[in-house]
Amino acid sequence: MSALLRSARLLRFSPSGLLQLTATKRTGPPLGRLYSGALTGTRTGACSRLASGNVCSRVWPNAAGCVRTYAIATEQKDEASVAVRSKQAQQFDWALTKLDSSVRRTGRITKTLLLRVFHDICRTGYPSGNQALLLLRSCGSLLPEVPLEERTELAHRVWEKLQDLGAQYDVSHYNAMLKVYLQNDFKFSPTDFLAKMEAANVQPNRVTYQRLIAAYCQNGDIEGASTILGFMKSRDLPITEAVFNSLLTGHARAGDITSSQNILTVMRGAGIEPGPDTYVSLLNVYAEKGDMDSLKKTLEAAESADCSLMDKDIMQVIFTLAKAGHQQQVPEIVERLRHERGYIPDAMNLCLSLITQGLEDTAFHILKTFPVQNDGNSDSPDLGSFFLRHCVNMGTSLEKISGYCKELQEANLHSAPLKFTLCCALEAKKTGLSLELMKMLKEQDLPIRPHYFWPLLTQHVKDNNTADVVDVVKGMQELGVIPDVETLTNYILPVFPSMEAARKALQDAGVSLESEGFLSSEIRSVAATNLAELYTRLSDSSFPPLDLIVFRGSLILGFRRSTDVESMAKITELLYKDERFSRENSKPVDTASFFMYNLIDSMSEGEVQAQEDKLRKYFNQLQAQNIIISGNIYRGVRNLLDSYHVPELIKDVLALVDPKDPLLSNGSAAAVPRATGTSNTAEELQKRLAKLKAENKPFDIILKQTINAFCAEENLQSALELKQQHEDEMTAGGYAALINLCCRHDNVEEALSLKREMSRKDSSVALDAPKYLALVKTLSKNGRVEEALDILKEMKEKDVVMSDTNITMLFHTLNSIVAKGGAPAIKRLQDTIFTLGLAKPTANLCSPLITAYLESKDLAGALDAALECQKLYNQLPRIHDIIVGLVEKGDTELLQKAMDVVSQERGEMTMLYDLFFAFLQTGRFREARKIIETPGLRARPGRLQWYAEKCIASSQMEALEQMVDMTAKLFECDRDEMYSYVLRFCKATNNWQKAEATWTKMQEENVIPRERTLRLLADILKKNGQEVPFEVPETWYEQAATTKEVKPAATPPKVESGNDYQAQLLALCKKGKAKEAYGMLKEADKKGVVLGPAPYDHLVRALLAEGSIDDAMAVKEIAASHVPGFVLSDIASSLLIISYSKKGQAKEALETLKSTLKADHVPSHLAVTRLVQGLGSCGDVAGIQEVEALMKSLGTTLNLSSMLFINNTAMAHIKTGDLETAVEQLESVYTSPDSTNPSMSFVFRKVLEDDNDKALDKLSAMAERLANHFACYRPASDLFLQLLDMDKVEDAKFMLARCNALAEQKVILMSYVAQKAQTPGQVGKIKALLSLIPDFTEKELLYPYLMKCHSLDKDLPSAKALYEQMQKHGSVDELSLKRLAVLYRNAGETLPFTEPPESFKFYAEKLKEKAAKTKTTAEE
């Protein structure tokens, strides 16, 4: 190679000067999106087909006549661990599969995919040679959407980054880079390339020489190519077809067409027959010259030589023609395309490459040659979407784009090209183009909606760019679009420093400040931050009506954050009395009541427990203001408080209920699932109890229900009196309910008495854990520690299981004793709990004991107790607070004792950190500095983070700053991490001056910030209108390679990047841990991490699946603020509709349906069904009719039942008491001449479930009338079967007696049997039907269903009995035998018959055929 280099260097000084070196500066754009499989004017290697530009005059970037740094011989770095290296193979397989799949399907690679693979490879820290080769090879023609220069920049970045990370490069990598250069028409010096390989101690091979020849020929440098060719001959390297193809191109570009044509003769003389690649190279030569005659002759010559050129080859010629400026010749060549298999992806790549080169018209001509598929599967063709998107991305003019759209629509090739183009422009954030496209849409009378502007506003808000936001708003005004609440709240107002500034700017832009949208947004902002101001504004009589639903979420957030109980109560009272904040059909009383329920529902268990005192004051103040809630609302709130394990608050809520409320009892009873489910009041139950007792009938169930009802009403006196009257009939459940009620009323004597009485009756009975803990809490608070200990011992004896929730209750129980019981009581309880093994010792459970000592200022006792916990349980609870107390007190003796123990048990470093944090906490910064400067002390990231978080939470900026300053020289301290804590504090307090000073300190300290730190700082500065003094990083892959000063050994992995958050969020959603995922999302949002739309949508779906609508909507708001144009997916929208419907919020569900349809999404079958049922339950006839109209306009049936709207409309009429209309409507369905006799079982079932006797009488009369007068038996059959299904056998028997023809409805009856046979435990209902109508069908049809029931129930004895019956009747089918055989095997018994050999499916199909033949014979 040295000899070759010497000869090549002589060329540098030749008169031609073709290879003169020129230094270049590489400051290209950041790593951009990659693209794929396009056609370029270059082919190299084995299929070299070249088309390139001028003579080379540049070299690799920064190569000023010397060897580029990254080409120096690679140094051997430390070997990676075996585990990392073994994992590389798996990652390479994954990357290769992804990229290979994309190339196979589309012939190209997307930019996003390539960057994702690049990021994952960089993140491992040890890229392999294979991975490097994979990435380098992907930076050429596989990226047709990316400009040529950007592709080469990307290749250089990949080369440098992977080499920095330790990738070992060999000749294959250099060859891959050569191929990329040729594909991207990159001008470089082949001589310098060889020099770099020599410096890197890498020997070139034949492929290298071939590609170097191609590089010379690409520039028309035949002299340079001949030098390389001579060297190849001297080394006896074979001269392949690829070399001849390069020479063919080289001669042509040197202006010697004759020599170019003679290459074919030379090839034949060398024994190489020209192949398709050679002919394509020659065709490209003529295409560059625009010589159509020679081009046609060459095509004919190729055909006569039996060289079949594929469509892809012809496309290469088309690209060359267009690129050389001969677009007028393209149509003639396009006619030669044969539309072979794979034509569409190849043609798409050609179009994309042409657009990238600025040849949109030629690309559009190719697009129109695409075959249009008229397969009948779609009425909305979308041919050309990729074309329009790329035109937008490449900045094609509006005139051209509008012309393309018009032509596509007129040719019926695209259903909505203009609208799609607008979507692309919005995604690309091209404001001017977007507004012009909207004007064009408006001219076509198409609607322009406020959310269209969200993508344009998002970035401006993020950049704090007030002027551009105002410009977009002006654009909205010009288009006649009024900003709605969501747009104002999330995308316009946040950019302004204050509401006054927003008012002035928007008023100048022409936005009405009196509009409901602006008012709602303003109120939302105030509601979340200042309740006192909110009350002042709402209570003003001039304030216009505003539905609470508009700002309910913000108001709930404000209530949860605020400690201003007085304002909370005032606002609630205002909602309670003022009609301005209620909907037309709602009363203010209901509005306030539902708000209170929603408030509790939005809070987590821990939040309710932590704010128990605040909520109690709130409820008491509402009672003082004479606010009354309904029994229904009380029931809901009670359910929530019961599930949150805060029963003490229930009586405070109960005080708000009107004692005369008839729903009080039924609501309360329903609130306790273990109680009863009855819908009677305690008084009514008491009467029924007396009646049953007088009739000498069993009444133990009614007794329990009555006691539960009294307990639900918090009526302890009546419950105890009832127990006294019927002591002999009391059950364990009744005693449990009474004991729990006594504990809530703090009646310890009665609770103990009931407990003893229950034990005397049955000593084996055990309470559940919450009731035992309630008893322990009540006893301990009243000084009855001994009895409390006995209860704990009983829990152990009776093996009461403690769940995690119970452990939390136990902690709150111990904490509640701090004020009254003191340390001795807690100590005894704690020791007993741990000794009995009821709970494992934890720092949390040990902490109440320490709290008791600290509350009484007994630091010595607290220290002794903590040290004893360490000795017994290896826990040091609240040691930080103890040390802080000792430092403040100045008790050096005890402090020394504490430090000695911590040092001995946890190590000297832990002791030093404890002391360090204590000095910081107490403001003794000089002593703290001495501690942290202890020689040999290392950084402990976990502990530093703990204290930093503590400072942020308690607003201790000085202590945090001091800690960051003192740890500057701490060994292995992550300085970027430390400064990021200060910046987080600055963001929370909006202190941009402090943030700017922090940035200066970071520069002084020469800290290399991570990408997230820079983004955090940039957000603070932009929010306050300050200039950002650095470039905000746009590429995320570099974070993996950021230089870190420390690599702590014991640091747990932390989630930093968006991809990490996304992966963990999706995993948590899949595991059903939606709340945990929601917490992680909020953490990510605080850190400024932006995710893609998928994790937001998945989390919304997961939260809705759990019924957490408010949290789901909060996630949606976060997503909308980060992802331009974010909309919920079809699945998420459908889940939201279902969730609203199940919660009885049918109006909200209907609005969601409308917005879903407006977004061109299609709701699911279940969503529409639940919505219509919800509207029916609410009595909303108009709403059902509106949904029906929307579904008809949708153009698809969604497989909705024909009776869905009819049945639910009838139910709506029934709910409103309009029985006549309901009956008339249903009757008309069955009396219609073209009636198909559909089912109305749904109506009968709902009426029976609601115990609506009046409606049932009307409907049953209608059913009988239709049966007797019109011979229409379907309604009567539906009623009969519903009665059977609800175990009302006597009523069904009476129905059958009145309408004997029901026994002849064999199809309906058999359908019922088939349905019941699908579910376990339903055989009794089939037998009940048989008892009423024994012979409604043939036994051979009935027996298989009965056997299936026994099989589902795993009931072998019953199956055996049925088998004997089947044998007697001689109708044993093979499917039943198959099922019976499985039961025998599962029971371990020997089969008394031969098991049929075929599958279940085989015999099921056989049975169906037999039944069909029987039916046909019967009909004949």
Mean pLDDT, to the nearest integer, of 1295-1307? Answer: 83
Question: In a 10 Å sphere around its CB, with 0-12 CB exposed, 13-18 middle and 19+ buried, how is residue 378 labelled?
Answer: exposed
* pLDDT tens-digit series, residues 427-454: 888 888 999 999 998 888 888 888 888 8
- In this prediction, residue 183 has a pLDDT band, given cuts at 50, 70 and 90, of very high
- Is the model more confident about 127 or about 1136? 1136
Mean pLDDT, to the nearest integer, of 1409-1414? Answer: 64
- Is the model more confident about 18 or about 282? 282
* pLDDT tens-digit series, residues 925-938: 988 888 887 877 88
Which distant-in-sequence residues (6+ apart) come within 8 Å of 452 by Cβ?
422, 426, 434, 438, 481
Q: Is the pLDDT of residue 896 over 80?
A: yes
Which sign, positive or negative, has the C-alpha torsion 356, 362, 363, 364?
Answer: positive
pLDDT at residue 1118, rounded to an integer: 84
Max mean pLDDT among 132-136, 576-580, 1070-1074 falls in 576-580
Which distant-in-sequence residues (6+ apart) come within 8 Å of 836 by Cβ?
792, 793, 795, 796
Q: Is the pLDDT of residue 72 over 70?
A: no
Integer Cα distance of 665 and 688 in angstroms = 15
Cα–Cα separations (whole angstroms), residue 263 to 238, 247, 1320: 17, 8, 83
Integer Cα distance of 117 and 296 in angstroms = 44
Record the tokens describing residue 823, joined without a space: 């340390």
Record the tokens describing residue 344, joined without a space: 């569409």
Q: Are 1146 and 1180 in contact (CB under 8 A)?
A: yes
Question: In a 10 Å sphere around its CB, with 0-12 CB exposed, 13-18 middle and 19+ buried, how is residue 547 labelled?
Answer: middle
Q: What percent of the chain has pLDDT over 70?
A: 86
Q: Are 1210 and 1225 in contact (CB under 8 A)?
A: yes
pLDDT at residue 149, rounded to an integer: 92
Mean pLDDT, to the nearest integer, of 831-850? Answer: 84
Mean pLDDT, to the nearest integer, of 1251-1258? Answer: 86
Q: Is the pLDDT of residue 1273 over 80?
A: yes
Q: Is the pLDDT of residue 1056 over 60?
A: no
Q: Is the pLDDT of residue 411 over 80?
A: yes
Mean pLDDT of all residues belonging to the chain: 79
Mean pLDDT, to the nearest integer, of 932-958? Answer: 86
What backbone torsions phi and psi does residue 69 show, to the nearest 5 degrees? -60, -40
Q: What percent of the chain has pLDDT over 90?
A: 11
Q: Are 457 and 491 in contact (CB under 8 A)?
A: yes
Q: Is 658 left (phi over 0), alpha (psi -120 to 50) or beta?
A: beta
Max mean pLDDT among 155-164, 517-526, 897-906, 1294-1303 falls in 155-164
pLDDT at residue 381, rounded to an integer: 60
Q: Is the pLDDT of residue 1055 over 80?
A: no
What backbone torsions phi and psi does residue 746 show, to the nearest 5 degrees? 60, 30
- In this prediction, residue 362 has a pLDDT band, given cuts at 50, 70 and 90, of very high
CB atoms within 10 A of CB 1223: 19
What 557-560 contacts at long range (C-beta under 8 Å, 24+ apart), as own/partner pairs, is 557/527, 557/528, 558/527, 558/528, 558/529, 558/530, 558/531, 558/534, 559/531, 559/599, 560/599, 560/602, 560/603, 560/607, 560/611
Measured torsion, CA atoms of residues 1019, 1020, 1026, 1029, in degrees rounded to the nearest 10: -70
Window from 105-119, 861-875, 1052-1066, 1213-1227 with minimum mean pLDDT: 1052-1066
Question: pTM here?
Answer: 0.49
SS3 state of residue 495? helix
pLDDT at residue 80, rounded to an integer: 37
Q: Is the pLDDT of residue 10 over 90?
A: no
Window from 537-546, 708-717, 1277-1286 with minimum mean pLDDT: 708-717
pLDDT at residue 661, rounded to an integer: 66
Q: Is the pLDDT of residue 12 over 80?
A: no
* pLDDT tens-digit series, residues 979-994: 999 999 998 888 898 9
pLDDT at residue 1007, rounded to an integer: 60
Q: Are 339 and 24 in contact (CB under 8 A)?
A: no
Integer Cα distance of 545 and 481 in angstroms = 23
Integer Cα distance of 741 and 543 in angstroms = 46
Max mean pLDDT among 262-266, 899-903, 1074-1078 falls in 262-266
Q: Is the pLDDT of residue 364 over 90?
A: yes
- In this prediction, residue 27 has a pLDDT band, given cuts at 50, 70 and 90, of very low
- Is the model more confident about 746 or about 93? 746
pLDDT at residue 180, rounded to an integer: 92
Q: Is the pLDDT of residue 1041 over 70?
A: no
Mean pLDDT, to the nearest integer, of 1347-1359? Answer: 89
pLDDT at residue 153, rounded to an integer: 93
pLDDT at residue 1195, rounded to an integer: 60
- In this prediction, residue 18 has a pLDDT band, given cuts at 50, 70 and 90, of very low
Q: Is the pLDDT of residue 1312 over 60?
A: yes
Mean pLDDT, to the nearest integer, of 1041-1062? Answer: 45
Helix 843-855 vs helix 804-816: angle between axes, to the nearest 10 degrees?
A: 10
DSSP state of 404: H
pLDDT at residue 1057, rounded to an integer: 54
- Is the model more confident about 1185 or about 683? 1185
Integer Cα distance of 1296 and 1267 in angstroms = 12
DSSP state of 118: H
Window from 362-366, 484-488, 680-684, 1072-1076 with minimum mean pLDDT: 680-684
- In this prediction, residue 668 has a pLDDT band, given cuts at 50, 70 and 90, of very low
Q: Are 1178 and 1215 in contact (CB under 8 A)?
A: yes
